[in-house]
Each structure stands twice: as structure tokens, then as C-alpha cells.
Amino acid sequence: MFSSGVQPAGHSIFSSPDAQGPSLGSCRPHTHIMFLKTHKTASSTVLNMLYRFGEEHNLRFALPLGYQLGYPLPFNAHRVKGYRGPGALEFHIMGNHMRFNKMEVEKVMPADTFYFSIVRDPVALTESSFAYYKEVAPAFRKAKGLGDFADDPNKYYDPRLRNNQYARNLLWFDFGLDHNANFSLALAQRGEDLIRRTFKLILISEYFDQSMVLLRHALCWPLDAVVSFSLNARQQKASVGGMSGIWMGKAAAAAGVGGGRPQARIPPNLSLTGDQREKLRQWNALDWYLYKAFNRTFWEEVDKFGRKHMEQEVSLLRMRREHLARVCLRDGGKPVEAHRIRDKNIRPFQSGFVRILGYELQPGLDNATRMSCLRMIRPEIQYKDLLDSKQFPQVPPIQAPQNPLLIAAGAGSFLRAESRNREEPVGFEIGGRTMEEGGKDWDGSRLVRRNQTGIRGSGTGRSP
């Protein structure tokens, strides 16, 4: 049974006995949840689960004024739509992109909130980041390919430039820490300890299904709540011309990226040698340390859960996903290019010069099943708009940006076209105002205003 105040979802495909999964005993479902949505870690799929659960059970979301919670600036409570001060309104779920700031998050979320996040091998993360943000991050934009960047990152990287957080220690940055600090074991251990004191569970992108089993048990949620279809996935093959090529050419021109001619949508060169992969681990040493530390802890949690038990539950989860794909999705659940999706309301926004895939619903579904299936494939931007309109029916909705690169970079974080040639450094801001020198980061460390991310005053500075 759900806790007081949470209404069960109506009858649908999700109300069958198989939807509940193995018994969770007498635990009560968590409904106060904070998910730190890290970049390029399958976090959009996780957010979809939170959106679904919250919508089905009439929970209140801590939604951004736009589409991200002030990213890449450190989170400020006033970035939450409808926030009127600590305790003035109960928020249940927070999960949109932010740069973590614990003190500000605690102003919004209740004391019993369950905090969790997800990490990914920094080599794979950088590969995905390079593909998505090639035209957003100055360090990536200058490089011919990912291997070229990996061979000599310092040739391309300037910590003062806006959006270069995508090019170095992105996990560390998203957790609210100084991603430009020189690596030391002591610093890495302090960061790890800081995260562990707040976050009760860190998932691993490479072991997504095992992560979902641990998350289900931690949150005391039914099986279907953590069954998902991969969202925001990119097409791996090059695609030339066509509707999407023309559309992206116009989008790029609007963003000041190249000309406005229809062009071949050729993904960036992401090939890497073994040596280049190792160089990327060294370049992202703080992220690499975090990944190894939380990967080790993850498998310790799996051992506590029981390896055989884990295998059984992963098998059930995959069987349920396959069943729902057959019921919900056209063509057996194979992702399709956005322009091929007939329903424009569920076409994913396109990001940079990679093609983001989506899904089509099976025709002929009954209304209840169709609604449940639709929740599983609704893209993040459209889902946020829907929830916004439900929570704030009297407020005109913010129109989604027509420029996909603006979404990729985050509201207010994209280099303006007139600045692109100069690539000027930017000031450090928090909550819409300039951060004064001597201010504090969320762990209490003093910040010195030396670049847009802030530098700790304890002696850590720009990497060589």
C-alpha cells in the first residue's frame, strides 16, 4: 500500500500482478525524492520514471522556471517555480538538471528526502558529451575529433569559457565541486566523502538494470515504476540530408553555428585508441576516481542484496520490459528517427549534430493502456511542459526553445552569437546575481571569483 496522501494509479496495463514484481515486504514507498540528474548518464530515462510515478500518484514536482534549474550556475532555491520559502509548500520530487548546491536544495526538499544520482565511465561520458555538445563547448568545437582532443586537451581547453564544463570532469561539476582543481588523492577522497554523506544511492549507467533493481528496493516501488525504454538515445550512423538534415541546418544557423544551408548530418569523429582512452581518464581524473569508488560500492551493495537474487530480479525486469515493448510500441519497440514519428507531440528535440531517436505507439490501444504507454515514451521536454501545466494551470506555459542547441546548453548558458568569435570569459553567478569573492560553496569551502565555476580558496586552482 502507498503512504497516506498518495493515490494509486487507475486501472491500466500497469495494474496487473506482474506490474508489482517480487514482494518488497512491509516497507512504505518513498515520495520525497531528489535525483541529481547528471549529464550523459542515462539520467533522462531515470527522470522519466520519476515523472511517471509522480504524475500517476499526484505528487508535486520542484520544476524549473525554464527547463533546467539554473544550470550551469550553482542551484538556487528561487529557480524552482512556485517556491515561496522553506516549508511554505511541500515538494515531493526534484530531478531536473542542476549544479548541486546542498544548502539550497534543502530549502526546497523535506528533511526525509531520499537523495540519489547516477555516474558513468568518464571515457564513455566524454564520448557522448563530445557528440552532443560539439558545437556548444568551445574546447570541443575547436577539436577535429575526440581523439584529437584527447591527445592534447590543454591545447583546446580554457576553464574561463562558458560551457567548457562539458569538456572536463563533468560529473564532479554536476555534483557542485570544482572540476578544474588539480587532482590529489586527498581532494578526491574529500569529494567522495561529501557526496556519500548526502546521497544514499549512486547508480552505475553501465549496469542500468542492476541499478534499477537496487533503486526499486531502496524506494519501495513496484516493478513497473522502474521498467523503462531508453530515452534521449542518439543514432550512431551518419545521416545525410533529408528532413532532419535541413531542419538541423536551420537550427545551427539560428545558433550562429556555420551557414544555414541544408547539410549532411555527420556525427563527430569519436574514434579513440587505447592510449587516447587512458589520456581521457587522466584528463578527467576526478571523475575517474568517483566512478571507480562508486562502482566498487555498487557491487558491494549487489553482494549484500545477493548475486543470485539480483540475477533473478534483473531477468524479471527485462522480461517485463520486453512485454511492455510488444504491447506499447510499434515495430517491436525499435527506436526511430524523430521526423518519422507521426505524433509531433512525442518527437524528441534534437541536440547538436547528433540525431536523437524516439518511439511510436502501437495503434489500437485502449485509452488506459495508451496513457500508461505514452508516459513511458514521452520526451523530457514535453513531459516537463505537461507537468508544469498541471501544477500551474493559471500560468501561461513557457514555450520550448525552437533552437535545440539552447536546450543542449541550458537556459542562459549558451554563448551568444556575437560573442562566439571572441569566446569571452564569463563572470561567476549564482541565483541570477554575481557571486561575491569569499562566498561559500555548498560544503562550506570559500570560493574565489576566478572563473565561471568558482575556485576553492583552499589552494586548489586551475589545472596545468
| pTM > 0.75 | yes
Classify 234 as helix, strand or coil: strand
pLDDT the model gives residue 233: 59
Per-residue confidence at 354, pLDDT binned at 50, 70, 90? low
What are the E-state strand segments in 49-154?
93-94, 114-119
Between the alpha carbon of residue 47 and those of residues 37, 109, 152, 218, 430, the distances in Å are 8, 17, 35, 16, 24
Q: Which amino acid is at 357?
A: L
Q: How many residues does the chain have?
A: 464
Cβ atoms of 463 and 182 closer than 8 Å: yes
Beta carbons of 115 and 198 less than 8 angstroms apart: yes
Instruction: Give 137-170 as a 3 state SS string.
Output: CHHHHHCCEHHHHHHCHHHCCCCCECCHHHHCCH
Is 262's pLDDT higher than 60? no
User: Is residue 253 classed as helix, strand or coil in its secondary structure?
Assistant: helix
pLDDT of residue 99: 98
The DSSP annotation for 407-455 comes to HHH-TT-SPPGGGTTT--B---EETTEEPPTT-B-TTS-BEE-SSTT-E
- Which of the four pLDDT bands, split at 50, 70 and 90, describes residue 352? low
Range 25-46 average pLDDT: 94
Q: Using 50, 70 and 90 to split pLDDT, how confident is the model at 61?
A: very high
Digit-coded pLDDT (tens) for 309-344: 999 999 999 999 999 988 888 876 676 666 666 667
Is residue 453 very low, low, confident or very high in pLDDT (cuts 50, 70, 90)?
Answer: very low
Average pLDDT, the chain: 79
Q: Within 13 Å of residue 315, how many CA atoms lie on the same side as its CB?
A: 6
What mean pLDDT do residues 80-96 have? Answer: 95
Confidence check: pLDDT of 34 > 80:
yes
Q: Note the pLDDT tens digit of each residue in 399-411.
A: 555 454 555 455 3
**Cα–Cα distance for residue pair 70/408, rounded to 1 Å:** 13
Q: What is the pLDDT of residue 418?
A: 31
Rg (CA), the chain: 22
- The whole-number pLDDT of residue 401 equals 55
Q: Which amino acid is at 127?
A: E
pLDDT digits (tens, 9 = 90+) for 358-373: 777 888 888 888 889 8
Helical spans, DSSP H, in 284-415: 285-305, 307-328, 367-377, 380-391, 404-409
Region 240-254: mean pLDDT is 32
| 313 close to 370: Cβ distance less than 8 angstroms | no
Tally the C-alpha atoms within 13 A of residue 325's C-alpha that lie toward its C-beta.
16
Please give the DSSP secondary-structure letter assigned to residue 229.
Answer: -
Total Cβ atoms within 10 A of residue 391: 13
**pLDDT at residue 416 above 80?**
no
Grade residue 195 by pLDDT with cuts at 50, 70 and 90: very high
Which one-letter DSSP state was computed for residue 227?
-
Whether residue 408 contacts residue 133, with contact meaning beta carbons closer than 8 Å, is answered with yes
Segment among 184-193, 249-258, 340-349 with least mean pLDDT: 249-258
Torsion angle, alpha carbons of 429, 435, 438, 444, to 10: -60
In this structure, what C-alpha cell is assigned to residue 153? 586537451
Q: Above pLDDT 90, what percent of the chain?
A: 56
Q: Find out whether 2 and 8 touch, Cβ atoms under 8 Å.
A: yes
C-alpha cell at 285: 581524473
